[in-house]
C-alpha cells in the first residue's frame, strides 16, 4: 500500500504549520518522523489520517484521495495511536483492545476472528496478563502499551503512532519499538512513528524522515543516509558526534549551540 503526500500545507488560523510537504511511504517497514518541537510532526500524521483538512495539497492512498473514504473505510486501512489515549471510560483492557476491531464488525458484535486477533495482539505486546484489569488502574506506561495493542488489533495496512514510547521506561521503549518493526517486516505493514528519540529511530527505523521549520521535509532516507552530524547540527542546533554501533548510527550529543 502506497501513501503519497503531495504539496501539503496546513495552518492553525494565521500560523503556517506545514509548508509544501511532499513525502511517499511506499514500502513495508518502520518509518520514523523526527525533528524539533513545533515543526509539525504530529500535524503531518493527523493530516495523513484525515483528522485535519489541509489548506492545500492532498493525501493519496494507492492513488485515491483520502477525502473519498468514509471514516469506517479509512479505519480499515489506517490505525492511529495518539501520544495520549483518549479512552475515558472505566473498562477492561480486553474490552479496550476489542474496540480496535470495531471497523471490521457488523452491528458491533465481535466474531470468533475478532477474539482471535485481540488475543494475538495482547500476546504481541506482552500485555495479556493485564487483560482483565481496568484501564484506570494501569500505570502510564501500561496504558500506552495497551493503546498500541488496540492499534494492532485494528489490523490496518498502515499503523501511525504519535510518540508511542513517550511514557515508557528504557526497557519497554526498546521492546515496543522492536516489536513494531518486527510486525512491519513480517506482516508487510507500514508503521509510521513520530519520535523524539534520535537513537531509537536510528537503531530500528528502515527510513527516517527529518523535518525542519517551518514544517518542511528536510530529508528522507535510511538512518545511515540522514542521521549525520551535519544534519543533526543544522536541524537541532547542537554539536554532536555520530559513530557506528552494530551497523547503525549512534548519536552522542555534546553541547547546544548558541542561538544567533
Q: What is the pLDDT of residues 5-19, one digit of tens each?
A: 999 999 999 999 999
Mean pLDDT of the chain: 92
Task: Report the alpha-carbon distance of residue 135 to residue 86 in Å, rounded.
Answer: 12
Can you name the residues that pair with 207 across neighbouring β-strands? Answer: 31
- Counting residues of the chain whose pLDDT is more than 90, the rounded percentage is 75
The H or E element spanning position 103 is none
Q: Is pLDDT of 85 > 70?
A: no
Can you name the residues that pair with 78 across neighbouring β-strands? Answer: 158
Domain that holds residue 249: 3-256
Segment 31-42 mean pLDDT:
96
pLDDT value at position 243? Answer: 97
Q: Is pLDDT of 23 > 90?
A: yes
pLDDT value at position 144? Answer: 86
Task: Name the DSSP class of 37.
Answer: T
**pLDDT-derived band at 206, boundaries 50, 70, 90:** very high
Q: In terms of DSSP H, where are the helices of 8-54?
A: 41-48
Segment 77-104 mean pLDDT:
84
The domain spanning residue 229 has which CATH number? 3.40.50.300
Q: Is pLDDT of 260 > 70?
A: no
Q: Is pLDDT of 90 > 80?
A: no
Helix axes 170-187, 140-153, angle to 10 degrees: 0
Segment 172-181 mean pLDDT:
90
pLDDT value at position 87? Answer: 55
- Counting residues of the chain whose pLDDT is more than 70, the rounded percentage is 97
Given a contact cutoff of 8 angstroms between Cβ atoms, the answer to whether 81 and 160 are in contact is: yes
- Name the more confident of 166 and 118: 118
In the chain, the largest separation of any two C-alpha atoms, in whole Å, equals 61
Segment 58-67 mean pLDDT:
94
Task: Report the alpha-carbon distance of residue 185 to residue 206 in Å, rounded.
Answer: 10
**pLDDT-derived band at 226, boundaries 50, 70, 90:** very high
pLDDT value at position 89? Answer: 62
pLDDT value at position 134? Answer: 94
Which of 14, 26, 16 shows the shortest CA–CA distance to 57?
A: 16
How many domains, the chain? 1
pLDDT value at position 155? Answer: 92
Task: Report the alpha-carbon distance of residue 220 to residue 76 in Å, rounded.
Answer: 27
The residue assigned the cell 494492532 is: 152
Q: Is pLDDT of 86 > 60?
A: no
pTM: 0.91
**Cell triple for 114:** 475478532
Amino acid at each position: 500500500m502506497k501513501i503519497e503526500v503531495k504539496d501539503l500545507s496546513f495552518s492553525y488560523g494565521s500560523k503556517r504549520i506545514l509548508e509544501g510537504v511532499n513525502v511517499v511511504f511506499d514500502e513495508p517497514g518502520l518509518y520514523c518522523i523526527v525533528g524539533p518541537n513545533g515543526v509539525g510532526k504530529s500535524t503531518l500524521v493527523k493530516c495523513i489520517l484525515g483528522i485535519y483538512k489541509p489548506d492545500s495539497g492532498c493525501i493519496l492512498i494507492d492513488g485515491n484521495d483520502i477525502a473519498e473514504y468514509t471514516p469506517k473505510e479509512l479505519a480499515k486501512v489506517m490505525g492511529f495511536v495518539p501520544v495520549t489515549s483518549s479512552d475515558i471510560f472505566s473498562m477492561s483492557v480486553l474490552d479496550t483492545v476489542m474496540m480496535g476491531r470495531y471497523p471490521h464488525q457488523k452491528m458491533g458484535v465481535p466474531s470468533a476472528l475478532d477474539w482471535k486477533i485481540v488475543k494475538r495482539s495482547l500476546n504481541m505486546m506482552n500485555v495479556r496478563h493485564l487483560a482483565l484489569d481496568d484501564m484506570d488502574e494501569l500505570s502510564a506506561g501500561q496504558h500506552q502499551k495497551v493503546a498500541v495493542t488496540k492499534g494492532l488489533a485494528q489490523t490496518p495496512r498502515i499503523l501511525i503512532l504519535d510518540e508511542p514510547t513517550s511514557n515508557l521506561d528504557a526497557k519497554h521503549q526498546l521492546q515496543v519499538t522492536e516489536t513494531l518493526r518486527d510486525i512491519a517486516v513480517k506482516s508487510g505493514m507500514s508503521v509510521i512513528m513520530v519520535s523524539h528519540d534520535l537513537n531509537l529511530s536510528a537503531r530500528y527505523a528502515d527510513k527516517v524522515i527529518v523535518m525542519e521549520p517551518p514544517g518542511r521535509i528536510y530529508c528522507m532516507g535510511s538512518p545511515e543516509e540522514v542521521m549525520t552530524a551535519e544534519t543533526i547540527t543544522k536541524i537541532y542546533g547542537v554539536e554532536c558526534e555520530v559513530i557506528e554501533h552494530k551497523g547503525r548510527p549512534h548519536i552522542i550529543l555534546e553541547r547546544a549551540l548558541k542561538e544567533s
